[in-house]
Amino acid sequence: MRARALMVLGTASHVGKSRLVTALCRLLRDAGLAVAPFKAQNMALNAYVTREGGEMGYAQAVQAWAAGLEPTVDMNPVLLKPTGDRRSQLILRGRPAGFYESSDFVADTPRRRAAWAAITEAYDRLAARYEVIVLEGAGSPVELNLMAHDLANGAIARHAGAALLLAADIDRGGVFASVVGTVQLLPPDLRRRLAGVILNKFRGDPGLFDEGRRLLERQAATPVLGVVPYWAGHLPEEDGVALEGLRSRPRSGTLRLGVVRWPHVANFTDFDPFFWEPGVTVEFLGPPPWPADLAALILPGTKNTPDDLAWAWETGTASAVRRWAVAGRPVVGICGGLQMLGQAVADPGHTESARWETVPGLDLLPLSTVLTPTKTTVRARGICRLPGLEGLSVAGYELHAGQSRLEGPPAFVLDDPARPDGTWRAQVWGTYLHGCFDAPAFRRAWLRRLGWRPDGPAATVEEAIREWAEVVRRHVAFDRILELVAS
């Protein structure tokens, strides 16, 4: 039996589609249905590595966890990872498949046909295994110049036979125009599939919007199935758009961590565990000056290490990091951040950068890196070898191009197969292991060495999913949504 399908479209990017799909996956699972998430085509630099070593969007991994499932690349068969304004690396069925140029979005090209084949095959496999598939659209479904070739919205909605919900962000303003305009611009066949609108991120008393709700329903000729309040909790974000206002809630007397925001920052989900720790504040930093009371400086991953390293030198960021380290203050590099901490990053084949073949590193760690098309995507476990943290277990995944020649002591020793990972010198260390801070004992021990004193237990992604799903359940007409997938 083919699964019933429910799809969340959005009036724009970053209106809350991913989170609503996460909540619906959890609520439908709790209702006793076998449910799986699906996003046909995602453009994001936050990626996750599956058990089989495939890449997929991190948001779809969170949605899988909400559904009680192990993430698989079928849940996100096409992932585009921007390396510049006009080019993205294409991840097809979890594996690199060259580059996707801007023209591939608006023309019937072989790459686009291959992407559509991957999308429909993946969806059909899921639809044969589960009772309900909750699909997530991408951006707006009514970009008129792109609609004819858009794979992530109307095309897959038709293929799945999905009932449609439209999500809108009321917090950013203009919700009447965005909802009514989107509904009116939908093709007639998709408009007929539209079952309702969900307004997300409402601040204040929802009762004050009762008249607005009636007006919107009349103008859009579509029922409003929920007005969801602004939720101050934290779930892993899909992409860098969220960084515009992302920081953990500041508290007086807390430990402050600074994360440098590269132009092509990737996998900043590595730092989500800090958002759930009491007494820790995370701030994403532009070029210096930076707050003087930061306890540590973290260099995150990037999809374009050479360009972002060059940007760091051009903006004074690299010199500021060096001064920070020379002053004896802690610096950590993850993946691309690790590569930058070495002596140089070479990209002779322009694997990431179209501009640079070699960029000098920060020369804070004894390593050098050569980028090649060969990509490492693997889950890993290991033991910490950092001074004062020896013997603590870590786990995560590697996701990087090329290799680094390490000449110093390892930060971690990974198993299966046994190999050194990263390195350290004094208070500076780096690793390729995304997700290493997910390990509670290691994370908390490292924070304590920075002067942190916990005043309560850490939350978890599971607790955040459960809390968010309960917020949605209380503020949407879930019984009507359930009817859409039970008929």
CA distance 88 to 264: 11
* Model pLDDT, residue 356: 95
| Model pLDDT for residues 159-200, shown as the tens digit of each residue | 999 999 999 999 989 999 999 999 999 999 999 999 999 999
The DSSP secondary-structure symbol of 152 reads: I
Q: Which domains does the chain have, with CATH numbers?
A: 4-230+465-486 (3.40.50.300), 242-456 (3.40.50.880)
Residues catalogued as catalytic: 335, 434
Task: Reply yes or no on whether the pLDDT at 108 is more than 90.
Answer: no
* Model pLDDT, residue 83: 83
* Model pLDDT, residue 287: 96
CA distance 224 to 209: 11
Name the pLDDT band for 241 (thresholds 50, 70, 90). low
Task: Tell whether omega for the bond before 420 is within 30 degrees of 0, i.e. cis.
Answer: no
The DSSP secondary-structure symbol of 247 reads: B
CA distance 242 to 14: 7
Cα dihedral value 462, 256, 380, 88, nearest 10: 90
Name the pLDDT band for 372 (thresholds 50, 70, 90). very high
Tokens 């786990």 locate to: 395
Q: Cβ–Cβ contacts within 10 Å for residue 254, how many?
A: 17
Name the pLDDT band for 246 (thresholds 50, 70, 90). low
* Model pLDDT, residue 109: 82
| Model pLDDT for residues 291-309, shown as the tens digit of each residue | 999 999 999 999 999 999 9
Which structure tokens are listed for 341? 């901490």
Total length of the chain = 487
53 three-class SS: coil
Residue 98 — left, alpha, or beta (φ > 0 → left; ψ -120 to 50 → alpha)?
Answer: left
Q: What angle do CA 465, 126, 397 make, to 5 degrees?
A: 55
Rounded average pLDDT over 195-214: 92
Rounded to the nearest angstrom, the gap between the alpha carbon of residue 286 and the centroid of all alpha carbons in its chain is 20
Find residue 88's DSSP bridge partners.
Answer: 82, 100
* Model pLDDT, residue 256: 95
Q: What is the pTM of this model?
A: 0.93
* Model pLDDT, residue 165: 98
Residues in CB range of 119: below 8 A, 6 or more apart: 40, 41, 77, 78, 151, 156
Cβ atoms 459, 360 nearer than 8 A: no
* Model pLDDT, residue 85: 74
Task: Reply yes or no on whether the pLDDT at 417 is more than 90.
Answer: no
CA distance 431 to 410: 9
Cβ atoms 460, 234 nearer than 8 A: no
Task: Reply yes or no on whether the pLDDT at 242 is more than 70.
Answer: no
With b for 16 or more beta-carbon neighbours within 10 A and e for fewer, the 381-403 pattern comes to ebbbbbeebeebebebbbbbbbe
Task: Reply yes or no on whether the pLDDT at 320 is more than 90.
Answer: yes
| Model pLDDT for residues 374-399, shown as the tens digit of each residue | 899 999 999 999 999 999 999 999 99
Q: Output the average pLDDT for the chain.
A: 93
Percent of the chain at pLDDT exceeding 90: 85
Which structure tokens are listed for 72? 């698989």
| Model pLDDT for residues 4-14, shown as the tens digit of each residue | 999 999 999 99
- Selection from 165, 158, 170 nearest residue 228 by Cα: 170
Task: Reply yes or no on whether the pLDDT at 201 is more than 90.
Answer: yes
Task: Reply yes or no on whether the pLDDT at 252 is more than 80.
Answer: no
Task: Reply yes or no on whether the pLDDT at 80 is more than 70.
Answer: yes
| Model pLDDT for residues 109-120, shown as the tens digit of each residue | 888 899 999 999
CA distance 319 to 315: 9
DSSP result, 286-354: -SSP--TT-SEEEE-EES-HHHHHHHHHHHTHHHHHHHHHHTT--EEEETHHHHHTSSEEE-TT-SS-S
Name the pLDDT band for 249 (thresholds 50, 70, 90). very low
Residues in CB range of 482: below 8 A, 6 or more apart: 28, 31
CA distance 278 to 452: 10
CA distance 236 to 481: 25
